[in-house]
Amino acid sequence: MTEMNMVQAINNGLDLALKLDDSVILLGEDIGINGGVFRVTEGLQKKYGEDRVMDTPLVELGIVGMAIGMALTGLKPVPEIQFQDFIYTAMDQIINQAAKMRFRSNGDYTVPMVLRTPYGGGVKGGLYHSQSGEAYFAHTAGLTVVTPSGPYDAKGLLLSAIDYEDPVIFLEPKRLYRSIKEEVKDGEYKVPLRKASVVREGDDLTAITYGSMVPTVKNTFEKHKVNGDIIDLRTLVPMDIGTVIQSVEKTGRVVIIHEAPRTGGFGAEISASITERALESLLAPILRVTGPDSPFPYKMEDYYIPDDRRIMKAVNKLLEFR
Amino acid sequence: MPEQDKSEEKTRLIKAYTAIVLSRTLDNKIVVSQRQGRVGFYTPTIGQEALQVGASMALQDKDLIYGYYRDVPLMLHRGVPMENIINQIMGNREDSALGRQMPSHYCDKKRNFMSVQSPVATNLPLAVGSAYTQKYRKTNSIVLTTFGEGSTSAPDFHAALNLAAVYNLPVIFLCENNGWAISMPVEKQTLAEIWTKASAYGMRGVRANGNDLLETYEVTREAVKRAREGKGPTLIDAVSFRMGPHSTSDDPTKYRDVIVEEGSDKDPVIITEKLLKSKGYIDDKFIESIKTRAEKIVNDKFEECAKIPAADPSSAFTGVYKESSWMLDEEVKDLL
Ligand SMILES: Cc1ncc(C[n+]2csc(CCOP(=O)(O)OP(=O)(O)O)c2C)c(N)n1
């Protein structure tokens, strides 16, 4: 065990993956000699060479398209998109090639690629270095969407994703890159995909969240002694509906927290899935605490990201609802 | 050169040199202020002054600029008030975007300087569309768009060049080739010389020494003339050097040994001084007085702008649509 932040844990996971399997290839902008703009790939090019840790020209659709091509021919590429905000030119490759390959070839061809990219606000990045675009990916059948909320899970989920046989969109909450330290196992271990984690238990209500918002919700619940479950989804698609419903049947009250804008956000999907399965258990309407339906602002980012005050407002409303 | 032309040239070059010095002084001030925590972020322009000002000299006020995050020298030469630039960087309430955008993302509608985005090269197709408008409306205005050499790898670059050529539009693609895209040197970015990429689209491509103010001016002037005459687009590869870090978040010692020291023979400020001296337009005393004045202007403006408070928080959540959405209205009630 070593105490690590998320940057170190992911670096450690990538290092291990590169060491264990020579079909693992990293590619992206500034990931080699510079070690990535967030230093997640620090030292890896030096250790494994330019053939395996590739500094690419500035072309996101090329990075992703090449990675898909590598995956189709037996490699296990782990492309990095420097900021999730810059992924959009590559969406054609992601949506029309990666996500649909298994289906359209009936399994003759598959895309075991792990596309890593930092997302979310909180680093004073303004409109284009703060976006939370998970819903774009969640809406695309064939993609598996994963987001860790701490160092331990980050490494374990990453190693599972690299061994997974379908394309994984691995969203790294950049605000948490260095803000949390945890004991992380040194060797290989896996945290399963498609499994949520109950990070706090209680009887009065269920908070469902993921990625960047998990520590905020945890702190809020601790500070205000909220007696509720907190579910960290970890994999958004396919969602671990069993864990969600089990908790909802216990508490009957649900708040969903994410940083992305509300409209068409993943919270809507969670909410609908619950009402379809557990309407009789609900004692109150399902509430959402989310980013607003506006672009992410530079100066006023603290207003944008859900905070203690807004989460508690929803919690109290839920608890008071009769 | 006839006396009158000479005096006109002198005026023009002194204006250009002044913009270069002002820009450099401002650049240094912002970088220092960022280290002091007075500014959040910045993308320095040091090294790219001569090429930007040279290009700007060839333009008219009515021409449209689709710039990028390093275009402070161009903006200053074009007449964008320095306080507009500082206010943007501080994100205060005098900033035209009210602090919504990250520093270095300028906009000045009055000077036809379009709003800057972060995703590189996405301004290029927009420049082509706006050039179409100029042609369609017969305005005789042209459009200039700027970007780094790294951005030539992006799909938008290729789409834009092809479209501009196909429709024979009055647009100039000014590649500010500073040799580096964060940690990626141009030799690894592309195996082709940037200017030669134009030929793939049947377009004119030229190279200019971007550290040579007059050469960049002449090359741009020719491109502007052709564009106005309906002879179509040009790609200009203006070669210079990124003397600073990519941004205030970047540490170039991690990936490069080559440096160009400020004040050395390769510094475009020094190169421009030599040029103007050789023409007898300036001397050391003039240089000193201009630099002293620039220091004072920059410091005064900076402190003035620093006193301006931030915009009201609600400004970050308005202006998404002309007519606001009920969704956002409802959310904002909860936020503020
Ligand atoms: C589409 C896109 N991908 C990645 C980035 C992150 N990024 C910002 S600037 C930059 C390098 C740009 O280099 P270049 O175009 O040469 O311009 P320079 O910064 O050197 O002036 C990168 C990779 C971005 N802004 N946009």
Residue range A208-229, pLDDT digits in tens: 999 999 999 999 999 999 999 9
Q: How many Cβ atoms are within 10 Å of A297's Cβ, its own excluded?
A: 26
Cα gap A104→A68, rounded to integer Å: 15
Chain B partners within 8 Å of A58 (Cβ) = 120, 150-151, 153-154, 181, 184, 189
Residue of B nearest to A305 (CA): B335
Q: Is A29 helix (H, G, I), strand (E, B) or coil?
A: coil
Q: Is A173 domain-assigned?
A: yes
User: What number of CA atoms fall less than 13 Å from residue A245's CA on the CB side?
Assistant: 13
Return the residue whose CA atom lies nearest to atom 12 of ligand 1: B181
Beta bridge partners of A256: A208, A288
* Residue A258 bears catalytic tag: no
User: Per residue in A54-97, pLDDT tens?
Assistant: 999 999 999 999 999 999 999 999 999 999 999 999 999 999 99
Ramachandran quadrant class, A36 (left: phi over 0; alpha: psi -120 to 50; beta: rest): left
What is the residue type of B21?
V
Are residue A52 and residue A86 in the same domain, yes or no? yes
Strands (E), chain B: 64-66, 143-148, 171-177, 180-181, 184-185, 204-209, 234-239
B210-231: b or e for each residue (b if 16 or more CB lie within 10 Å)? Answer: bbbbbbbbebbeebbebbeeee
* Domain regions of chain B by residue span: 3-335
Q: Of ligand 1's atoms, which has the minimum distance to the CA of residue B180? A: 20
Q: Of ligand 1's atoms, which has the minimum distance to the CA of residue B186? A: 16
Q: Which domain holds residue A261?
A: 197-320
Are residue A148 and residue A241 in the same domain, yes or no? no
Residues 6+ apart with CB under 8 A from B276: B13, B14, B17, B282
Please compute the mean of the pLDDT values over residues A288-296 and round it to a whole number: 98
Interface test with B, best of A27, A33, A300 (most B CBs within 10 A): A300
Which of A34, A61, A310 is closest, CB to CB, to B182?
A: A34
Task: Map tokens 């564009």 to a residue.
Answer: B227
pTM: 0.97
Are residue A230 and residue A87 in the same domain, yes or no? no
Domains held by chain A: number? 2
User: Per residue in B21-72, pLDDT tens?
Assistant: 999 999 999 999 999 999 999 999 999 999 999 999 999 999 999 999 999 9
User: Per residue in B228-277, pLDDT tens?
Assistant: 999 999 999 999 999 999 999 999 999 999 899 999 999 999 999 999 99
Domain containing residue A137: CATH number: 3.40.50.970
Specify the CATH number of the domain B3-335: 3.40.50.970
Exposed, middle or buried, B261 (CB in 10 Å: 0-12/13-18/19+)?
Answer: exposed
Q: Is A125 domain-assigned?
A: yes
Q: Is-contact B86 B302, C-beta < 8 A?
A: yes
Domain containing residue A300: CATH number: 3.40.50.920
Q: Is A254 domain-assigned?
A: yes
Are residue A271 and residue A240 in the same domain, yes or no? yes
Are residue A136 and residue A168 in the same domain, yes or no? yes
DSSP assignment of A223-279 equals HTT--EEEEE-SEEETT-HHHHHHHHHHH--EEEEEEEESTT-HHHHHHHHHHHHHG
Task: Tell me which DSSP letter residue A140 carries.
Answer: S
Q: Is A258 domain-assigned?
A: yes
Shortest Cα–Cα distance, A81 to chain B (Å): 12
Question: Which of these three, A184, A208, A232, is where a domain ends?
Answer: A184
Are residue A205 and residue A133 in the same domain, yes or no? no
Return the residue whose CA atom lies nearest to atom 24 of ligand 1: B119
Q: Supply the ipTM of this predicted assembly.
A: 0.94
Q: Is A192 domain-assigned?
A: no
Question: Which of these three, A150, A184, A218, is where a domain ends?
Answer: A184
Are residue A157 and residue A235 in the same domain, yes or no? no
Cα gap B87→B99, rounded to integer Å: 8
Cα gap B226→A267, rounded to integer Å: 55
Does the pLDDT at position B336 exceed 90?
Answer: no
Residue of A nearest to B119 (CA): A86
Q: Is A190 domain-assigned?
A: no
Task: Map tokens 């509720």 to a residue.
Answer: A228
Confidence of residue B1 (pLDDT cuts 50, 70, 90): confident
Q: What tokens does B61 get?
A: 């006020």
Are residue A210 and residue A277 in the same domain, yes or no? yes
Confidence of residue A311 (pLDDT cuts 50, 70, 90): very high
Q: Is-contact A151 A12, C-beta < 8 A?
A: no
Quote the pLDDT of residue A170. 99
Q: Is B132 helix (H, G, I), strand (E, B) or coil?
A: helix
Are residue A112 and residue A230 in the same domain, yes or no? no
Q: Is B261 helix (H, G, I), strand (E, B) or coil?
A: coil
